[in-house]
Amino acid sequence: MGPIGAVRISIPNNYQNLAQLILLHNHEAKTAEYTIHFNLESEKLRWIEAVSQPSSENPNEIIYEEWDCPQVQCIRSYCAQQTDEISLEETDVL
């Protein structure tokens, strides 16, 4: 038996490159769960990397907590190479 309110879904065997995204608090302060299909394994891995909390094997590197969002200013322009990237101009603030 699964958790209360759990929904079992049936996924056909021919579906590959699936990932589950769980948002702990959405705009309504509710948990939201999504199963996402990617066309390519590389797409799936890029998105998992993009939404995962960073980690480092370098003990001197500072990794900020999820709640701590420092701003940075671009020092040079960058032209997006992939569809999931953004182009940046010098002095843009992120």
Quick: pLDDT tens for 10-46. Answer: 666 677 888 888 877 767 778 888 888 888 899 888 8
pTM comes to 0.46
> What are 67-89's pLDDT values in tens digits?
666 778 899 999 999 888 889 99
**56 touches 37 (CB < 8 A):** no
Show me where the domains of the chain are located.
7-54+70-93
* Residue 22 Ramachandran class (φ > 0 left, ψ -120 to 50 alpha, else beta): beta
**E strand intervals along 6-93:** 18-23, 32-37
Q: Which amino acid is at 33?
A: E
